[in-house]
Every structure is written in C-alpha cells, then in structure tokens.
Structure 1
C-alpha cells in the first residue's frame, strides 16, 4: 500500500495506474475509519483494478461552531484497516497541501441542498462539493463509493457529477449498522453510555415508519407526527429534522398527500442530537422503484436511472 501526502506524489501514482490501463475505484473519507468505510473499500476492491482512499478532514464543510478541532483522528488505525481491505493508495494531505491559499472557487449545488443538513448546516455542502470536485480531478477515478447513511451527500455528488459531466460513476453502498441497529458513524465515539443506548431510537423509528406508511389513509403529515413522538420518547434528544421527501430530488410532497398515492421513491431522513452529538439516519421507501448496488441488501438504494 502506497501512502501519498502530497498532490505531486498522488499524481505520479495515478499516472502509473493510467499507463497500465488500470481501472480506479475511489473512496473519499475524513478518516477515523470504521466498518462502514471498510465496506466501501471492499466494494471498490471487488469492482476495480486499484483502490484509492483519501483521508482528509475538510475544513470547508465545517461551520464556525462545529466540531472540526475535535473531529476524531487515528492515522495508525486507519492505515491498518485500509491495508486489510486491499487499498492500493492512500492520499493523506494536510490542509496546507489541499488549500495553499484560501480558495476563490467553490462548487455550489442548488435545490438538493435546500433542506435537511443543507438547511441546518449552511455552507456544508459547498465545502463537500468543492473538496470532492478537487479530489475527483486528482484521482481520476472510474467509480467513487459513498455510504448511503448520508443520502443527501450522495444526491448532491450525483447532481454535481451529472451537471459538470465528471467521467465517474457514483456508487452508493449500504448503511452498515451495529447489531442493535445504530448506524456506524465516526461521531458515535462522542456518545456516553446512556446516549449510546438511546441512539437506537433512530433505526427503531425508521423501522416502525416502514410499517406505519402502509396503514390506509396514512398521510405525510400524520407519519411525521408519529415519527417525532417516537423519537421524543428517548431521553436527551433534540430533533434537528425529521422529513419525508422525494429522492433524489429532496423535494417535499404535499403534507396532506396519502402516502399510497406517491409513486416516486421517498426518503425518511432524521437528524437528532443526543446531548451535544448530532446523528443522522435515513431509510429509502418504495424500494422496488430504485436501483441497488447489492441487490439483496435492504439498505442500499439509489435514485432511479442512476447506477449508484
């Protein structure tokens, strides 16, 4: 496994792969890797001749009051997991290497960023779009792998790729969960024992909602009301958002619309604070109308017409 800390080193290694006509899979991360990241690396290793992993805590996607400085980092552990998953190249640049000067060019994706995390974290997806665009130019991947835990991020990246004609296939992969259902996240480490126990309310609520929406006459408004009541039963919770939207457009259906009349794929997306720790989770509904990377995995979903 080759470790590159500069853009020059990375370009040299990518050039060698291209000369050998090797296909390249890419997994961009902010590090502190867990089994969710490992699953992306394994998908890439299966699909491509070479896999590139980037580890970079991108300051552009953190707001002034967010956890940039305390975002968890463990380089030694990350590299061991990457090698175990068959990664060929790890790109680990410094902030100075990626942004030697304040960037005057940013990538802004409209509409799909208007709600969910885009609304509660202003500027977040501008930072995501900018750094991912930069990484795509440097790595030149054939395929890039993203976890569906952040389904809005997948939609934003796909929109950017479509609009700007990036020559890369975006491959969303399943949410990986703990045995009790909690979605894996680098931020789970912030939870104390009580909060960790309460956090399973997210996956439990998504599961219950899958049944509630089948009830005759269930509307968007009624479903979301039930979702919020269910989450509020857990201690130390503060709901940032709970929304039912079309996916991948992330536009809202009418609040009084009966759900059984909505023929487009939907996403139920949650963001909840447990103490000071904000966690997200989601579930895509009407799964028969979306494509999947792993056909038998309930958690892998994609926008219709896109190969994620």
Structure 2
C-alpha cells in the first residue's frame, strides 16, 4: 500500500501516486505495455481479483509488470515525509529513500530493539520491556541450549560417520592427484579445481542457515578490527584458506556487486533480499551469501566466491 499523502509536507506530483490506494507509490512497478505505475502490493491484490489494468482496463497479467524507470525512482527518493511514529512524538522529516532505515532506529518506534539493562543482555522490542523477565529469559535460553546439546549428542555418531567418509574420499582423491602428477597428466589442474570446489561446497553447507530480521542494520564499511574478528570466526568454522581472504575482501561495500553498492541501491533491491540463501557465520552478527547457492539472484546481487555481510544486530540461526 502507498504512503499517506498527508505525511508529505509538499504537494506530490500525480505521476508519483497510485490510483488504486490513492497514496504515494511504495515499492512501485510498471505495466510494460501502457506504462501505468502502481504500488507492488496494490496491483498484486488487484490482479488477484481481475486481470486488467486499473487505468485503461487493458488485459494484464503478473508477467506484464516490470520495475519503474530510474528517473521515477530518483523522483520518489527525493521526496520528504514525516516519520510513521509522528503521533508518538517523532518530529523528523526524512527523505523517502532513508525512511525505512530511520524508522527501524527511531527512538519512538515501539518495536525498536533495545538491550535489557537488568543484566540478562536480551535484545527485545521496547514495548515488551514492561513484561520482560530476566529469569524467564535466561531459563528459556538454558532450555533451548539444553535441547541443542541433546540434539548434538543424538546426531554425533551420524556426523562422525559422515566426516570419516568425507575424509576418506579426500584422501583417495589426493592420492589420485599425486599419482597424476607423477604421470604428468594434463588434466591435473582441472581435477584440483574440482576438489577445491567440493571442499568449499561441503564447508558452506556445514554452516547453519541464517535468519535476518533487520536488513537495515548492515555495516557496509567494517573497520580492520571488525574484519579481523569475522575472519577468525570464518577460519574457526574450517573455512578453506583458499577463499578466506577473498571472502573477507568481499565484506566491504566497495567489493559488493552493483545492486548493493550504495544505500540507495540497497533500498531499491531490499524487497529481493528474502530470496537470498543465507548462511550464518557461527556466533557472529554476520552472514555468508555463497555464489553457488545464489545463482538465481543474478550478477547484480551476487559475486564470486561469495559475500560476507556484517550487521550491528538482527542475525540468528534459522529454525
């Protein structure tokens, strides 16, 4: 649904408004044939009922929609409006392109995550602090960790067998490589690359899937100290040394693909982030987006061998 026009201090051009909801376009898409623009959610609800353009009634299907032109995105990004939490006391006037980031961190946002000051260290929404209990929180953590320990013990023998089998396979392949070296077989380099790819794939798949609850918490320019901490965490997960340095170089926005280069481009592509296959770097507020698991994202949102993204908060293991 679009943004309420009353939130904008200046008059908004009609071309930037959705005829379905009457609000300023939010996450807009355009009909390829007639170039009419609508909020993505609005046109989605509309097409669920009838397959026609709301303006000219031309035949319309989901596959006839595309992204709006850059000039329209730029015009929208230059608009300013009040914060969603104005009634709670926020008096900020923010550019539309920075709205989501502001509202996530807004002090008047009842769902802003804050750390418990009573000692348990839990990070919870502000409006839940009044009902928060450190004892209950810690008891929940103990229960969860106990269950995880029991699960690990249960799977321990199975993991040992898998690891032993993998180690045997690697030993056999390495011996085969040594044999090929002695025979000077031309395809040796290709075989070595295949083994390295298998090692990388096995390592990445050993990491837990991650859940990102706050994409606005990205640290796009981590300093050397933070990068060192994350690299050590990578190595502790048995990350192949052949890619550890390259992955950490890809932890800075200057090495990210074009779709993640700037705050503006990240806002534009934010609705696509849920399509990433994401792994968590154990124990850290950081994720790993490997190229081989994300070929569906396209070259504008993924690069070789993968991307490391560090967050201030909002990362946990997926269920």
- Report the TM range for the smaller structure's normalisation: under 0.3
Q: Which has the higher strand share?
A: 1
Q: Give the TM-score taking structure 2 as reference length.
A: 0.24
Task: Considering Cα pairs closer than 8 Å and 6+ residues apart, tell me whether 1 or 2 has the greater RCO.
Answer: 1
Larger radius of gyration: 2
Q: Which has the higher helix share?
A: 2
